[in-house]
Amino acid sequence: MEISRDEVLHVAKLARLALTDEEVERFRGQLSAILEAVGKVSELDLEGVPPTAHPLDLVNVLAEDEPAPCLPRDEALVNAPDPEDGYFGVPPV
């Protein structure tokens, strides 16, 4: 399954990855080969087989609705690249 340069750029944009030209070309080849291999799943007739999202029989696990302490603001900001006045600083949107 061959994917185009435009498709790679489209997916990179969705994934917020600013790929270099060299990366676009390399990933185009590799992703084509991988998609060819994984596309094998489409040869199966799976009519009526339900999908599995995770392998446990758990449904709607609920916690007690009780307030508990959360991470203090100063600790939440410890790893921030650009903390500003108690907030996460970013350049203009």
Partner 1 sequence: MIDTLRLTAEELEGLLTRGEVSSQEVFEAYRAAIDERDGELHCFLRLHDGEGEGIPIALKDVIGTNGVETTAGSQILAGYVPVYDSTVAARCKARGLRLLGKTNTDEFAMGSSTENSAFGPSRNPWDPSRVPGGSGGGSAAAVAAGMTPWALGSDTGGSIKQPSALCGNVGLRPTYGTVSRYGIVAFASSLDQVGPVAKTVRDNAFLYSVIAGRDPADSTTVDLPPTEIPEAEDLKGLRIGVPVEMRDAPGIEPGVADAVARAVALCEELGAEVEECSLPRSVEYGLPCYYLIAPAEASSNLARYDGVRYGYRAAGDDLTEVYERTRDEGFGDEPKRRIMLGTYALSAGYYEAFYGKAQQVRTMIIREHAEVFERCDLIVSATSPTVAFEIGARADDPLAMYASDLLTIPSCMAGLPGLSIPCGLSEGLPVGLQLIGPQLSENTLFRAGHALERALEFDFVPERLQ
Q: Which positions touch partner 1 (CB under 8 A)?
A: 3, 7-8, 11-12, 14-20, 23, 27, 30-31, 33-35, 37-42, 44, 46, 49-56, 58, 61, 63, 71, 75-76, 78-82, 88, 90-93
Shortest distance, CB of residue 8 to partner 1, whole angstroms? 7
In angstroms, the CA 2 to CA 26 distance is 13
The 3-class secondary structure across the chain, one letter per residue, is CCCCHHHHHHHHHHCCCCCCHHHHHHHHHHHHHHHHHHHHHHHCCCCCCCCCCCCCCCCCCCCCCCCCCCCCHHHHCCCCCCEECCEECCCCC
Shortest distance, CB of residue 59 to partner 1, whole angstroms? 11
Shortest distance, CB of residue 91 to partner 1, whole angstroms? 6
Nearer to partner 1 among residue 2 and residue 38 (C-beta):
38
Shortest distance, CB of residue 24 to partner 1, whole angstroms? 10
